[in-house]
Structure 1
Amino acid sequence: MLVHPNNPLGDVYSPQLLTDLMGVCARHEVHFISDEIYALSIFTDEDEPSSRPPFHSVLSLPHPDPERTHVLWGLSKDFGLAGLRVGVVVSRCAELMACLRAVAIYKCTPHLVHHASAALLSDIAWCDDFYLRLNSERLGRTYRRARGRLEAMGARVREARAGLFVWFSIRDFMETDSAEEEMEIHAQLMRAGVYVVPGSKLYGADPGWIRLIFSVGEEELDEGLKRIESVLKKRRKKTA
Protein backbone atom coordinates (compact mmCIF):
# COMPACT_ATOMS: atom_id res chain seq x y z
CA MET A 1 0.00 0.00 0.00
CA LEU A 2 1.52 3.27 -1.15
CA VAL A 3 0.10 6.73 -0.38
CA HIS A 4 1.09 8.73 -3.47
CA PRO A 5 1.40 11.72 -3.09
CA ASN A 6 2.38 11.04 0.48
CA ASN A 7 0.41 12.09 3.55
CA PRO A 8 1.79 13.71 5.74
CA LEU A 9 5.11 14.34 3.95
CA GLY A 10 3.83 15.81 0.70
CA ASP A 11 6.30 13.69 -1.28
CA VAL A 12 5.87 12.78 -4.96
CA TYR A 13 7.55 9.53 -6.00
CA SER A 14 9.51 9.09 -9.22
CA PRO A 15 8.25 6.84 -12.02
CA GLN A 16 11.40 4.72 -11.58
CA LEU A 17 10.69 4.11 -7.89
CA LEU A 18 7.07 3.26 -8.64
CA THR A 19 8.15 0.85 -11.37
CA ASP A 20 10.70 -0.79 -9.07
CA LEU A 21 8.12 -1.22 -6.30
CA MET A 22 5.61 -2.75 -8.70
CA GLY A 23 8.36 -5.07 -9.91
CA VAL A 24 9.10 -6.27 -6.37
CA CYS A 25 5.40 -6.93 -5.76
CA ALA A 26 5.06 -8.77 -9.08
CA ARG A 27 8.00 -11.06 -8.29
CA HIS A 28 6.53 -11.99 -4.93
CA GLU A 29 2.90 -12.06 -6.14
CA VAL A 30 1.91 -9.28 -3.74
CA HIS A 31 -0.90 -6.84 -4.53
CA PHE A 32 0.26 -3.27 -5.23
CA ILE A 33 -2.26 -0.61 -4.11
CA SER A 34 -1.58 3.06 -4.89
CA ASP A 35 -3.76 5.47 -2.92
CA GLU A 36 -3.73 8.61 -5.09
CA ILE A 37 -6.32 10.63 -3.15
CA TYR A 38 -4.12 13.79 -3.50
CA ALA A 39 -3.22 13.17 -7.16
CA LEU A 40 -4.55 16.53 -8.40
CA SER A 41 -3.32 18.61 -5.44
CA ILE A 42 0.18 19.14 -6.82
CA PHE A 43 2.04 22.44 -6.53
CA THR A 44 5.51 23.81 -7.14
CA ASP A 45 7.75 25.79 -4.83
CA GLU A 46 8.64 28.84 -6.91
CA ASP A 47 11.14 30.05 -4.29
CA GLU A 48 13.15 26.83 -4.49
CA PRO A 49 12.58 25.00 -7.77
CA SER A 50 12.75 21.33 -6.84
CA SER A 51 14.70 18.63 -8.59
CA ARG A 52 12.07 16.15 -7.49
CA PRO A 53 10.00 14.57 -10.27
CA PRO A 54 6.51 15.71 -11.25
CA PHE A 55 3.60 13.52 -10.27
CA HIS A 56 3.02 10.38 -12.33
CA SER A 57 0.02 8.21 -11.58
CA VAL A 58 0.57 4.47 -11.43
CA LEU A 59 -2.09 4.34 -14.14
CA SER A 60 0.33 6.07 -16.55
CA LEU A 61 3.02 3.39 -16.12
CA PRO A 62 3.36 -0.22 -17.37
CA HIS A 63 2.05 -2.78 -14.89
CA PRO A 64 4.20 -5.92 -14.54
CA ASP A 65 1.29 -7.67 -12.80
CA PRO A 66 -1.96 -5.97 -13.95
CA GLU A 67 -4.22 -8.34 -11.99
CA ARG A 68 -2.58 -7.31 -8.71
CA THR A 69 -2.25 -3.55 -9.39
CA HIS A 70 -4.96 -1.25 -8.02
CA VAL A 71 -5.38 2.54 -7.76
CA LEU A 72 -7.64 4.45 -5.36
CA TRP A 73 -8.95 8.00 -5.78
CA GLY A 74 -11.86 10.17 -4.64
CA LEU A 75 -13.32 13.68 -4.65
CA SER A 76 -12.84 14.40 -0.96
CA LYS A 77 -9.33 15.93 -1.03
CA ASP A 78 -8.65 17.31 -4.51
CA PHE A 79 -12.11 18.90 -4.73
CA GLY A 80 -12.92 19.35 -1.02
CA LEU A 81 -16.09 17.28 -1.46
CA ALA A 82 -15.86 14.79 1.40
CA GLY A 83 -19.61 15.06 1.93
CA LEU A 84 -20.37 13.50 -1.47
CA ARG A 85 -18.75 10.21 -0.35
CA VAL A 86 -17.45 9.29 -3.79
CA GLY A 87 -14.54 6.85 -3.98
CA VAL A 88 -12.96 5.21 -7.01
CA VAL A 89 -11.16 1.89 -7.39
CA VAL A 90 -9.36 1.25 -10.69
CA SER A 91 -8.46 -2.41 -11.09
CA ARG A 92 -8.21 -5.11 -13.76
CA CYS A 93 -8.75 -7.89 -11.22
CA ALA A 94 -12.05 -9.54 -12.19
CA GLU A 95 -12.40 -11.27 -8.81
CA LEU A 96 -11.91 -8.04 -6.87
CA MET A 97 -14.33 -6.14 -9.09
CA ALA A 98 -16.96 -8.85 -8.65
CA CYS A 99 -16.64 -8.50 -4.87
CA LEU A 100 -16.86 -4.70 -5.05
CA ARG A 101 -19.95 -4.84 -7.23
CA ALA A 102 -21.62 -7.16 -4.73
CA VAL A 103 -20.80 -4.83 -1.82
CA ALA A 104 -21.88 -1.78 -3.86
CA ILE A 105 -25.48 -3.01 -3.78
CA TYR A 106 -25.57 -2.04 -0.10
CA LYS A 107 -22.96 0.77 -0.10
CA CYS A 108 -23.64 2.48 -3.41
CA THR A 109 -23.32 6.19 -4.11
CA PRO A 110 -26.70 7.76 -5.01
CA HIS A 111 -27.41 8.28 -8.70
CA LEU A 112 -27.77 12.06 -8.22
CA VAL A 113 -24.26 12.16 -6.75
CA HIS A 114 -22.97 10.06 -9.65
CA HIS A 115 -24.51 12.54 -12.07
CA ALA A 116 -23.13 15.59 -10.25
CA SER A 117 -19.63 14.05 -10.06
CA ALA A 118 -19.64 13.10 -13.75
CA ALA A 119 -20.82 16.58 -14.73
CA LEU A 120 -18.06 18.19 -12.65
CA LEU A 121 -15.27 16.01 -14.07
CA SER A 122 -16.56 16.27 -17.64
CA ASP A 123 -16.47 20.07 -17.66
CA ILE A 124 -12.93 20.37 -19.02
CA ALA A 125 -13.04 24.17 -19.32
CA TRP A 126 -13.90 24.58 -15.63
CA CYS A 127 -12.23 21.51 -14.11
CA ASP A 128 -8.88 21.35 -15.92
CA ASP A 129 -8.36 24.84 -17.26
CA PHE A 130 -9.74 26.81 -14.30
CA TYR A 131 -10.18 24.91 -11.03
CA LEU A 132 -7.15 22.59 -11.01
CA ARG A 133 -4.82 25.34 -12.23
CA LEU A 134 -6.10 27.86 -9.68
CA ASN A 135 -6.12 25.27 -6.89
CA SER A 136 -2.47 24.40 -7.61
CA GLU A 137 -1.47 28.08 -7.60
CA ARG A 138 -3.24 28.76 -4.32
CA LEU A 139 -1.87 25.63 -2.63
CA GLY A 140 1.64 26.63 -3.68
CA ARG A 141 1.14 30.18 -2.40
CA THR A 142 -0.23 29.16 1.00
CA TYR A 143 2.40 26.42 1.35
CA ARG A 144 5.17 28.98 0.84
CA ARG A 145 3.43 31.38 3.23
CA ALA A 146 3.18 28.72 5.94
CA ARG A 147 6.69 27.44 5.34
CA GLY A 148 8.21 30.91 5.50
CA ARG A 149 6.48 31.78 8.76
CA LEU A 150 7.37 28.47 10.40
CA GLU A 151 11.02 28.74 9.41
CA ALA A 152 11.11 32.31 10.74
CA MET A 153 9.92 30.91 14.08
CA GLY A 154 12.87 28.49 14.10
CA ALA A 155 11.01 25.36 13.03
CA ARG A 156 12.46 23.00 10.44
CA VAL A 157 10.09 22.42 7.53
CA ARG A 158 10.21 19.46 5.17
CA GLU A 159 9.91 20.38 1.50
CA ALA A 160 6.59 19.31 -0.02
CA ARG A 161 5.26 19.02 -3.56
CA ALA A 162 1.65 18.01 -2.99
CA GLY A 163 -1.21 17.77 -0.53
CA LEU A 164 -2.90 20.17 1.84
CA PHE A 165 -0.40 20.08 4.69
CA VAL A 166 3.12 20.91 5.78
CA TRP A 167 5.30 18.62 7.93
CA PHE A 168 7.53 20.53 10.35
CA SER A 169 9.80 19.75 13.27
CA ILE A 170 9.56 21.28 16.75
CA ARG A 171 12.49 19.31 18.17
CA ASP A 172 14.48 22.50 18.72
CA PHE A 173 11.74 23.57 21.15
CA MET A 174 11.84 20.34 23.18
CA GLU A 175 13.87 19.58 26.28
CA THR A 176 13.58 15.84 25.83
CA ASP A 177 13.40 13.69 22.71
CA SER A 178 10.15 12.01 23.72
CA ALA A 179 6.64 11.42 22.44
CA GLU A 180 5.35 12.60 25.81
CA GLU A 181 6.80 16.09 25.36
CA GLU A 182 5.53 16.16 21.78
CA MET A 183 2.02 15.53 23.12
CA GLU A 184 2.58 18.18 25.80
CA ILE A 185 3.32 20.76 23.08
CA HIS A 186 0.28 19.54 21.14
CA ALA A 187 -1.85 20.20 24.24
CA GLN A 188 -0.38 23.70 24.53
CA LEU A 189 -1.23 24.39 20.88
CA MET A 190 -4.78 23.14 21.46
CA ARG A 191 -5.14 25.49 24.42
CA ALA A 192 -3.92 28.31 22.16
CA GLY A 193 -6.74 27.49 19.75
CA VAL A 194 -4.85 25.59 17.05
CA TYR A 195 -5.61 22.04 15.99
CA VAL A 196 -2.69 20.19 14.41
CA VAL A 197 -1.79 16.51 14.23
CA PRO A 198 1.23 15.34 16.28
CA GLY A 199 3.68 13.15 14.41
CA SER A 200 3.36 10.27 16.85
CA LYS A 201 -0.30 9.90 15.82
CA LEU A 202 0.84 9.56 12.20
CA TYR A 203 3.46 6.93 13.06
CA GLY A 204 6.39 9.33 12.79
CA ALA A 205 9.72 7.57 13.27
CA ASP A 206 11.01 10.28 15.63
CA PRO A 207 9.21 12.49 18.16
CA GLY A 208 8.88 16.21 17.52
CA TRP A 209 7.07 16.44 14.17
CA ILE A 210 3.72 18.10 13.45
CA ARG A 211 1.37 18.15 10.47
CA LEU A 212 -0.28 21.51 9.80
CA ILE A 213 -3.05 21.93 7.23
CA PHE A 214 -2.46 25.15 5.28
CA SER A 215 -5.31 24.90 2.75
CA VAL A 216 -7.38 27.67 4.32
CA GLY A 217 -7.84 31.38 3.68
CA GLU A 218 -4.79 33.57 4.23
CA GLU A 219 -6.37 35.43 7.15
CA GLU A 220 -7.21 32.19 8.93
CA LEU A 221 -3.76 30.75 8.16
CA ASP A 222 -2.01 33.84 9.53
CA GLU A 223 -4.03 33.69 12.74
CA GLY A 224 -3.21 30.00 13.21
CA LEU A 225 0.50 30.61 12.61
CA LYS A 226 0.40 33.54 15.03
CA ARG A 227 -0.97 31.24 17.73
CA ILE A 228 1.64 28.60 16.98
CA GLU A 229 4.36 31.24 17.27
CA SER A 230 3.05 32.35 20.66
CA VAL A 231 3.46 28.79 21.98
CA LEU A 232 6.88 28.22 20.42
CA LYS A 233 8.21 31.54 21.75
CA LYS A 234 7.47 30.43 25.29
CA ARG A 235 9.05 27.04 24.57
CA ARG A 236 12.14 28.78 23.17
CA LYS A 237 12.64 30.69 26.44
CA LYS A 238 12.14 27.53 28.44
CA THR A 239 14.58 25.42 26.43
CA ALA A 240 17.14 28.24 26.32
Structure 2
Amino acid sequence: MFTDVHDRAGAAVLPLVLRQEADSSDESFLLRAEDLEARVEALHQEGRRVRAFMLVHPNNPLGDVYSPQLLSDLMDVCARHEIHFISDEIYALSIFTDEDEPSSRPPFRSVLSLPHPDPDRTHVLWGLSKDFGLAGLRVGVVVSRCAELMTCLRAIAIYNLVRRLLPPTEQRETRPYYRHARGRLEAMARRVKGGTAALFVWFSIRDFMETDSAEEEMEIHAQLMRAGVYVVPGSKLYGSDPGWIRLIFSVREEELDEGLRRIESVLKSRRKETA
Protein backbone atom coordinates (compact mmCIF):
# COMPACT_ATOMS: atom_id res chain seq x y z
CA MET A 1 0.00 0.00 0.00
CA PHE A 2 2.76 2.44 0.96
CA THR A 3 4.67 1.78 -2.27
CA ASP A 4 1.59 2.15 -4.47
CA VAL A 5 0.19 5.26 -2.82
CA HIS A 6 3.32 7.05 -1.62
CA ASP A 7 6.10 6.09 -4.00
CA ARG A 8 4.05 5.95 -7.20
CA ALA A 9 1.29 8.50 -6.56
CA GLY A 10 3.29 10.88 -4.37
CA ALA A 11 0.59 11.01 -1.69
CA ALA A 12 1.30 11.09 2.05
CA VAL A 13 0.28 7.89 3.86
CA LEU A 14 -0.69 8.36 7.50
CA PRO A 15 -1.85 5.51 9.78
CA LEU A 16 -5.00 5.41 11.86
CA VAL A 17 -3.79 3.95 15.17
CA LEU A 18 -6.08 1.21 16.45
CA ARG A 19 -7.01 1.11 20.13
CA GLN A 20 -5.10 -1.55 22.01
CA GLU A 21 -6.19 -2.92 25.37
CA ALA A 22 -3.21 -3.63 27.62
CA ASP A 23 -4.27 -6.99 29.01
CA SER A 24 -6.27 -8.60 26.23
CA SER A 25 -5.66 -10.22 22.88
CA ASP A 26 -8.85 -10.71 20.86
CA GLU A 27 -10.35 -7.41 22.04
CA SER A 28 -7.31 -5.31 21.22
CA PHE A 29 -6.49 -3.30 18.10
CA LEU A 30 -10.02 -1.93 17.90
CA LEU A 31 -11.13 0.02 14.82
CA ARG A 32 -13.76 2.64 15.64
CA ALA A 33 -15.52 5.17 13.41
CA GLU A 34 -15.18 7.91 16.03
CA ASP A 35 -11.39 7.48 15.99
CA LEU A 36 -11.37 7.92 12.22
CA GLU A 37 -13.44 11.09 12.51
CA ALA A 38 -11.21 12.49 15.24
CA ARG A 39 -8.12 11.77 13.12
CA VAL A 40 -9.61 13.48 10.06
CA GLU A 41 -10.63 16.55 12.07
CA ALA A 42 -7.19 16.78 13.70
CA LEU A 43 -5.50 16.70 10.29
CA HIS A 44 -7.90 19.36 9.00
CA GLN A 45 -6.96 21.60 11.94
CA GLU A 46 -3.32 21.18 10.91
CA GLY A 47 -4.24 22.50 7.48
CA ARG A 48 -3.91 19.11 5.78
CA ARG A 49 -6.42 17.81 3.25
CA VAL A 50 -7.49 14.20 3.65
CA ARG A 51 -8.37 12.80 0.25
CA ALA A 52 -9.01 9.12 0.96
CA PHE A 53 -9.36 6.48 3.66
CA MET A 54 -8.11 3.02 2.67
CA LEU A 55 -9.35 0.03 4.67
CA VAL A 56 -7.78 -3.42 4.28
CA HIS A 57 -10.72 -5.78 4.89
CA PRO A 58 -10.14 -8.50 6.04
CA ASN A 59 -7.38 -6.85 7.97
CA ASN A 60 -3.69 -7.39 7.30
CA PRO A 61 -1.97 -8.30 9.66
CA LEU A 62 -4.71 -8.92 12.24
CA GLY A 63 -6.98 -11.24 10.25
CA ASP A 64 -10.00 -9.35 11.57
CA VAL A 65 -13.35 -9.15 9.80
CA TYR A 66 -15.40 -6.02 10.44
CA SER A 67 -19.14 -5.86 10.99
CA PRO A 68 -21.51 -4.32 8.42
CA GLN A 69 -22.45 -1.68 11.01
CA LEU A 70 -18.84 -0.60 11.47
CA LEU A 71 -18.28 -0.50 7.71
CA SER A 72 -21.37 1.66 7.33
CA ASP A 73 -20.21 3.98 10.12
CA LEU A 74 -16.80 4.36 8.49
CA MET A 75 -18.42 5.16 5.14
CA ASP A 76 -20.64 7.74 6.86
CA VAL A 77 -17.57 9.50 8.30
CA CYS A 78 -15.96 9.62 4.87
CA ALA A 79 -19.16 10.91 3.26
CA ARG A 80 -19.48 13.73 5.82
CA HIS A 81 -15.94 14.88 5.11
CA GLU A 82 -16.10 14.20 1.34
CA ILE A 83 -13.31 11.61 1.56
CA HIS A 84 -12.92 8.70 -0.83
CA PHE A 85 -13.58 5.36 0.90
CA ILE A 86 -11.39 2.58 -0.55
CA SER A 87 -12.04 -0.98 0.63
CA ASP A 88 -9.14 -3.29 -0.25
CA GLU A 89 -10.75 -6.74 -0.07
CA ILE A 90 -7.77 -8.72 -1.36
CA TYR A 91 -8.39 -11.48 1.27
CA ALA A 92 -12.18 -11.58 0.77
CA LEU A 93 -12.30 -15.31 0.03
CA SER A 94 -9.67 -16.34 2.60
CA ILE A 95 -12.14 -16.60 5.48
CA PHE A 96 -12.11 -19.40 8.02
CA THR A 97 -13.78 -20.18 11.33
CA ASP A 98 -12.61 -22.37 14.16
CA GLU A 99 -15.35 -24.95 14.75
CA ASP A 100 -13.93 -25.78 18.18
CA GLU A 101 -14.06 -22.14 19.27
CA PRO A 102 -17.52 -20.63 18.66
CA SER A 103 -16.99 -16.96 17.97
CA SER A 104 -19.08 -13.81 18.13
CA ARG A 105 -17.01 -12.30 15.33
CA PRO A 106 -19.11 -11.17 12.36
CA PRO A 107 -19.04 -13.00 9.01
CA PHE A 108 -17.35 -11.22 6.13
CA ARG A 109 -19.51 -8.77 4.18
CA SER A 110 -18.13 -6.88 1.24
CA VAL A 111 -18.70 -3.14 1.09
CA LEU A 112 -20.39 -3.88 -2.24
CA SER A 113 -23.27 -5.51 -0.34
CA LEU A 114 -23.98 -2.40 1.74
CA PRO A 115 -25.63 0.97 0.99
CA HIS A 116 -23.14 3.66 -0.05
CA PRO A 117 -23.80 7.13 1.39
CA ASP A 118 -21.43 8.62 -1.21
CA PRO A 119 -21.39 6.21 -4.19
CA ASP A 120 -19.03 8.24 -6.39
CA ARG A 121 -16.39 8.21 -3.64
CA THR A 122 -16.73 4.52 -2.71
CA HIS A 123 -14.36 2.04 -4.34
CA VAL A 124 -13.62 -1.67 -3.83
CA LEU A 125 -10.42 -3.50 -4.79
CA TRP A 126 -9.85 -7.23 -5.22
CA GLY A 127 -7.29 -9.43 -6.98
CA LEU A 128 -6.17 -13.00 -7.55
CA SER A 129 -2.80 -12.84 -5.79
CA LYS A 130 -3.92 -13.80 -2.26
CA ASP A 131 -7.10 -15.85 -2.48
CA PHE A 132 -5.78 -17.87 -5.43
CA GLY A 133 -2.14 -18.00 -4.29
CA LEU A 134 -0.94 -16.23 -7.45
CA ALA A 135 1.37 -13.61 -6.01
CA GLY A 136 3.09 -12.83 -9.31
CA LEU A 137 -0.05 -12.56 -11.44
CA ARG A 138 -1.10 -8.94 -11.77
CA VAL A 139 -4.82 -9.47 -12.29
CA GLY A 140 -7.23 -7.42 -10.22
CA VAL A 141 -10.60 -5.75 -10.02
CA VAL A 142 -11.62 -2.17 -9.25
CA VAL A 143 -15.32 -1.57 -8.64
CA SER A 144 -16.23 2.11 -8.73
CA ARG A 145 -18.99 4.44 -9.92
CA CYS A 146 -16.59 7.37 -10.25
CA ALA A 147 -16.56 8.21 -13.97
CA GLU A 148 -13.34 10.23 -13.71
CA LEU A 149 -11.51 7.39 -11.97
CA MET A 150 -12.74 4.81 -14.47
CA THR A 151 -11.55 6.99 -17.36
CA CYS A 152 -8.06 7.06 -15.83
CA LEU A 153 -8.06 3.30 -15.23
CA ARG A 154 -9.13 2.52 -18.80
CA ALA A 155 -6.15 4.48 -20.06
CA ILE A 156 -3.62 2.28 -18.22
CA ALA A 157 -5.38 -1.10 -17.85
CA ILE A 158 -4.55 -4.17 -19.93
CA TYR A 159 -7.54 -6.35 -20.75
CA ASN A 160 -7.25 -10.08 -21.41
CA LEU A 161 -9.65 -12.99 -21.37
CA VAL A 162 -9.01 -15.25 -18.39
CA ARG A 163 -10.12 -18.69 -19.57
CA ARG A 164 -9.79 -20.71 -16.38
CA LEU A 165 -9.35 -20.06 -12.67
CA LEU A 166 -8.34 -22.45 -9.94
CA PRO A 167 -10.52 -22.62 -6.79
CA PRO A 168 -9.74 -19.99 -4.15
CA THR A 169 -8.18 -20.68 -0.78
CA GLU A 170 -10.06 -23.64 0.70
CA GLN A 171 -11.41 -22.88 4.17
CA ARG A 172 -11.18 -26.49 5.29
CA GLU A 173 -7.51 -26.56 4.32
CA THR A 174 -6.68 -23.17 5.83
CA ARG A 175 -8.27 -23.68 9.26
CA PRO A 176 -6.00 -26.52 10.54
CA TYR A 177 -2.85 -24.59 9.62
CA TYR A 178 -4.11 -21.52 11.46
CA ARG A 179 -5.09 -23.54 14.54
CA HIS A 180 -1.75 -25.35 14.55
CA ALA A 181 0.29 -22.15 14.24
CA ARG A 182 -1.79 -20.33 16.82
CA GLY A 183 -1.60 -23.20 19.31
CA ARG A 184 2.17 -23.48 19.04
CA LEU A 185 2.63 -19.71 19.38
CA GLU A 186 0.31 -19.55 22.39
CA ALA A 187 2.54 -22.13 24.08
CA MET A 188 5.58 -19.91 23.40
CA ALA A 189 4.14 -16.42 23.90
CA ARG A 190 1.36 -15.27 26.22
CA ARG A 191 -0.58 -13.20 23.70
CA VAL A 192 -1.74 -14.26 20.26
CA LYS A 193 -4.35 -12.22 18.39
CA GLY A 194 -7.22 -14.38 17.21
CA GLY A 195 -8.36 -13.99 13.61
CA THR A 196 -10.91 -15.40 11.18
CA ALA A 197 -9.48 -14.37 7.83
CA ALA A 198 -6.38 -13.94 5.68
CA LEU A 199 -3.18 -15.96 6.07
CA PHE A 200 -1.54 -14.57 9.21
CA VAL A 201 -1.07 -15.06 12.92
CA TRP A 202 -0.31 -11.87 14.89
CA PHE A 203 1.58 -12.64 18.09
CA SER A 204 3.31 -10.72 20.85
CA ILE A 205 7.01 -10.94 21.74
CA ARG A 206 6.83 -8.38 24.55
CA ASP A 207 7.53 -11.00 27.21
CA PHE A 208 10.94 -11.44 25.60
CA MET A 209 11.79 -7.72 25.53
CA GLU A 210 13.35 -5.58 28.25
CA THR A 211 12.72 -2.09 26.90
CA ASP A 212 9.46 -2.25 24.87
CA SER A 213 11.22 -0.30 22.13
CA ALA A 214 11.07 -0.52 18.36
CA GLU A 215 14.83 -1.06 18.38
CA GLU A 216 14.52 -4.18 20.52
CA GLU A 217 11.63 -5.44 18.38
CA MET A 218 13.88 -5.09 15.32
CA GLU A 219 16.68 -6.85 17.21
CA ILE A 220 14.45 -9.89 17.76
CA HIS A 221 13.29 -9.69 14.16
CA ALA A 222 16.93 -9.80 13.05
CA GLN A 223 17.51 -12.87 15.23
CA LEU A 224 14.53 -14.61 13.63
CA MET A 225 15.77 -13.72 10.16
CA ARG A 226 19.23 -15.09 10.97
CA ALA A 227 17.51 -18.29 12.11
CA GLY A 228 15.93 -18.53 8.66
CA VAL A 229 12.39 -17.41 9.52
CA TYR A 230 10.87 -14.65 7.40
CA VAL A 231 8.39 -12.67 9.51
CA VAL A 232 7.31 -9.02 9.57
CA PRO A 233 7.76 -6.86 12.68
CA GLY A 234 4.80 -4.79 13.82
CA SER A 235 6.67 -1.51 13.54
CA LYS A 236 6.91 -2.05 9.78
CA LEU A 237 3.13 -2.43 9.66
CA TYR A 238 2.48 0.89 11.45
CA GLY A 239 2.15 -0.79 14.85
CA SER A 240 1.99 1.94 17.50
CA ASP A 241 3.27 -0.28 20.33
CA PRO A 242 6.43 -2.34 19.76
CA GLY A 243 6.46 -6.07 20.38
CA TRP A 244 4.26 -7.72 17.74
CA ILE A 245 5.16 -10.03 14.86
CA ARG A 246 3.22 -11.21 11.79
CA LEU A 247 3.70 -14.85 10.77
CA ILE A 248 2.30 -16.28 7.54
CA PHE A 249 1.01 -19.83 8.07
CA SER A 250 0.06 -20.69 4.46
CA VAL A 251 3.06 -22.92 3.72
CA ARG A 252 3.58 -26.67 3.64
CA GLU A 253 3.07 -28.37 6.99
CA GLU A 254 6.69 -29.43 7.37
CA GLU A 255 7.88 -25.90 6.58
CA LEU A 256 5.46 -24.42 9.09
CA ASP A 257 6.62 -26.84 11.80
CA GLU A 258 10.27 -26.05 11.10
CA GLY A 259 9.61 -22.31 11.16
CA LEU A 260 7.75 -22.57 14.46
CA ARG A 261 10.57 -24.66 15.90
CA ARG A 262 13.08 -21.98 14.95
CA ILE A 263 10.91 -19.23 16.43
CA GLU A 264 10.68 -21.19 19.68
CA SER A 265 14.45 -21.64 19.74
CA VAL A 266 15.06 -17.90 19.30
CA LEU A 267 12.50 -16.95 21.97
CA LYS A 268 13.94 -19.48 24.43
CA SER A 269 17.39 -18.00 23.93
CA ARG A 270 15.95 -14.53 24.58
CA ARG A 271 14.35 -15.74 27.80
CA LYS A 272 17.70 -17.06 29.04
CA GLU A 273 19.40 -13.76 28.14
CA THR A 274 16.81 -11.67 30.00
CA ALA A 275 16.58 -13.99 33.02
**TM-score, with length taken from structure 1:** 0.89
Rounded Cα–Cα distance in structure 2 between residues aligned with 1:23 and 1:63 = 8
- 1:170 Cα deviation (Å)? 0.3
Q: After superposition, where does 1:1-240 map in structure 2 within 5 Å?
A: 1-104=54-157, 108-109=158-159, 111=160, 114-116=161-163, 119-120=164-165, 127=167, 131-132=168-169, 135-240=170-275
**Which ranges of 4 or more aligned residues in structure 1 deviate by more than 3 Å?**
none
- 1:203 Cα deviation (Å)? 0.9
- The residue identity in structure 2 corresponding to 1:220 is E
Rounded Cα–Cα distance in structure 2 between residues aligned with 1:154 and 1:64 = 43
CA RMSD, 1 decimal: 1.3
- 1:23 Cα deviation (Å)? 1.1
Rounded Cα–Cα distance in structure 1 between residues aligned with 2:77 and 2:134 = 35
Tell me the alpha carbon deviations over residues 26-55 of structure 1, each in whole angstroms, 9 at most, x when there is no partner.
Answer: 122111100000000000122322101000
Give identity over the alignment, percent. Answer: 82
Q: Report the equivalent of 2:35.
A: none
Please give the secondary structure, in 2, of the residue aligned with 1:72: strand
Q: How many residues end up aligned between the 2 structures?
A: 222
Q: Report the equivalent of 1:123.
A: none
- The residue identity in structure 2 corresponding to 1:137 is R
Tell me the alpha carbon deviations over residues 9-34 of structure 1, each in whole angstroms, 9 at most, x when there is no partner.
Answer: 11100000001111111122111100
Rounded Cα–Cα distance in structure 1 between residues aligned with 2:110 and 2:70 = 12
- 1:239 Cα deviation (Å)? 2.0
Rounded Cα–Cα distance in structure 2 between residues aligned with 1:11 and 1:21 = 16
Unaligned runs of 5+ in 1: 121-125
**TM-score, with length taken from structure 2:** 0.78
For the 8 Å contact 2:208–2:274, the answer to whether it is kept is yes
